[in-house]
Structure 1
Amino acid sequence: MLYLIGLGLGDVEDISVRGLRIARSAVRVYFEMYTSLLQGPDGGVPALEALLGRSVIPADRETLEEKASDILFGAGDGDVAVLVVGDPMAATTHSDLILRAREAGVPVKILHNASIISAVGCTGLQVYRFGAVVSICFWTESWRPRSFAQHVRENLRRGLHTLCLLDIRVKEPDMTALMRGRKEFEPPRFMTVAQAASQLLEIVSQPPTAEASDGESTPEGEPTRDVPDCFTPDTLCIGLARVGLPDEKILAAPLRDLIDVDMGGPLHSFIVCGGLHPLELEFVRQFALDLSKLPQAMK
């Protein structure tokens, strides 16, 4: 049996009792470290191993996507567990692993847990008032994707909030070292609320673009058409850090005011607010960076 076991929001003790029992007895246990991490040194591996009373096998992107057969080996005769921070079904990577397992005749069971997609309710925003979820990647000098802003604007036009998942880079190959014939990795990087706000501010400071029926493309190769200017530097946004942990931090402010905030250590998330119900607004007020600017951001 292949088990995909959700670990919850980031504390090693958030694993379910059933998940803990299975992980302790499985033939092999993998810890997926590509889509998220636990709190603590080394991505939470030492704390996880201490809780389980056994070693775990760290699984990076290469392991999940290119060595899935190694994970599935022996799962037809014994139990193999893959531990995932959050909920296992919140990432397409895990869907692919499940499909490969079923193609190989390996039975699969999923043990769900809390994820940021549901935990955003801690802001007071109603979960059913969220639209499409987007991801914000680190920009480089030559790669500055911004097409996700189309979805943010479309959500805003419908009065919906947007949850933005922020980039994490763990065990990314160092291209300079690779060119010299050495396999080395860059230091881990975790996008902050301030970095996400800075990239978003640059995007909203330029004319909005989105997919067009005429197929005209921007220099980035993204189709364009006119879109109402509903996403501005004054749009109300919420920054979140370490949701579900004792030192959780939440700040609400116009987009322009979040570019300099220090939310502390990872992991961070970001929300672009759509129309707020009065109850949502009342709840969000407690997180205001500057309460006097909240009404302005709601216009």
Structure 2
Amino acid sequence: MLTFVGLGLFDVRDISVKGLDAVRRADAVYLEAYTSRLMGSSVDEMEQVFGKEIRLLGREDVEQHPDAVIDRARDGDVVFLTGGDPMVSTTHADLRIRAAEAGVPTVIVHASSIQSAVCGLSGLQNYRFGKSCSVPFPAAGWFPTTPLATVRANLDCGLHTLVYLDIQPDRYMRVPEAVGLLEEMAEATGQPAPDLYVGIARAGSESPVVAAGTADRLKAFDFGPPLHILIVPADLHPVEREYLETFAGL
């Protein structure tokens, strides 16, 4: 049995009782830590609370070489931990398909996700979000502009855009940097830059930070430590505007 367990948004306390039960009865526990991170808890703390050894998996372990996880799940109970909700990332869906093809039964234990948390923190209505996108760190000779194209397409349809920010082993993209990159994309492509942004830091913690405003305001705003995420809103409903004025300083 392979059980996908979501860890939630911020720290070890976010796991559900059902998820904790699955971890504690598992024969082996793996943690995928490349699509999201629990910034409020270390792996050592999770091992102490869960009472289990946790084996870390990199992107290649999950996407290219998942046989070790699947083979272990043939003969025992295996838990695959992820930040947020397990099936938000397509790489997890692919692993579940591979397990099914190998004859391994699977179960999902859901948890809080940034996709729903941003609605509560920003007040932006969940049914008004279009396709999401990710802003990666640029590299030498590589500066993709597709994130801005996604944002512009959503804006043309009156839809908000959830913009995921790059996570790498040694650095985390922050809202001011992401806003600056979107502005660079606009300059490079001749497309208009967004007029309004909403930045969120440390969703799920006891002190999340939410700020809304122009590019200049958010680039100068101190959001504090990661994880950060960005929203580009479309035209605001009156209730959305009032919410952002009340809770995000719009």
Tell me which interval the TM-score lies in, with the shorter structure as reference length: over 0.9
Aligned ranges for residues 107-186 of structure 1 at < 5 Å?
Answer: 107-121=105-119, 122-170=121-169
2:211 aligned with 1:248? no
Alpha-carbon shift at residue 287 of structure 1 (Å):
4.1
Given that residues 3 and 109 in structure 1 are in contact (C-alpha distance below 8 angstroms), is that contact kept between their aligned partners in structure 2?
yes
Alpha carbons 2:12, 2:38 under 8 Å: kept: yes
Report the counterpart of residue 230 of structure 2 in structure 1: 270
In structure 2, how many angstroms separate the alpha carbons of the residues matched to 1:46 and 1:19? 18
Q: 1:205 aligns with which of 184, 187, 194?
A: 187
Which of residues 216, 221, 227 in structure 2 aligns to 1:261? 221
The Cα shift of 1:248 comes to 0.5
- Letter paired with 1:190: Y
Shift of 1:77: 2.5
Percentage of matched positions with identical amino acids: 45
For 1:23, the equivalent position in structure 2 comes to 23
> Which contiguous aligned blocks of 4+ residues in structure 1 show a shift greater than 4 angstroms?
none
Q: Is the contact between residue 237 and residue 270 of structure 1 (CA under 8 Å) also seen in structure 2? A: yes
Per-residue deviation, 1:157: 0.9
Q: Let me know the Cα RMSD of the aligned residues.
A: 1.4
Task: Calculate the TM-score normalised by the size of structure 1.
Answer: 0.80
Unmatched segments (≥5 aa) in structure 1: 171-187, 209-228, 292-299
1:206 shift after superposition: 3.9
Q: 1: CA distance between counterparts of 2:7 and 2:146?
A: 31
Q: 2:193 corresponds to which residue?
A: 232
Distance 1:61 1:162 in 2: 25
Q: Equivalent of 2:178, from 196, 211, 218?
A: 196
Please state how far the C-alpha of 1:260 moved relative to its aligned partner.
Answer: 2.5
- Is the Cα–Cα contact under 8 Å of residues 2 and 105 in structure 2 kept in the other structure? yes
Query: Are the equivalent residues in 2 in contact too, given 1:146–1:203 (CA < 8 A)?
Result: yes
**Residue correspondences, number:** 249
List per-residue Cα deviations over 1:80-125 (Å, max 9, x = no partner).
0001110111101101111110111000111111111111112110
Deviation at 1:288, TM superposition (A): 4.4
Letter in 2 for 1:23: V
The structure in which a higher percent of residues are helix is: 2
**Counterpart of 2:132 in structure 1: which amino acid?**
V
DSSP-derived class of the 1:10 partner: coil
* Whole-angstrom CA distance in 1 between matches of 2:97 and 2:238: 43
Cα distance in 1 for residues equivalent to 2:53 and 2:92: 22
Distance 2:24 2:75 in 1: 17
Tell me what 1:181 maps to. Answer: none
> RCO higher in 1 or 2 (8 Å CA, sep ≥ 6)?
2
**Paired residue type of 1:246:** E
**Aligned 1:34-113 pairs, distance under 5 A:** 34-40=34-40, 44-113=42-111
Q: Which amino acid aligns with 2:159?
A: L
Q: Is contact 1:252-1:287 (8 Å) kept?
A: no
Match of 2:144, SS?
Answer: coil
- Please name the residue that 1:213 is paired with: none
Aligned to 1:259, the other structure's residue is in SS state: helix
Displacement of 1:40 in angstroms is: 3.8
User: Aligned partners of 2:235, 2:40: CA distance in 1, in Å?
Assistant: 37
Gaps of 5+ in 2: none
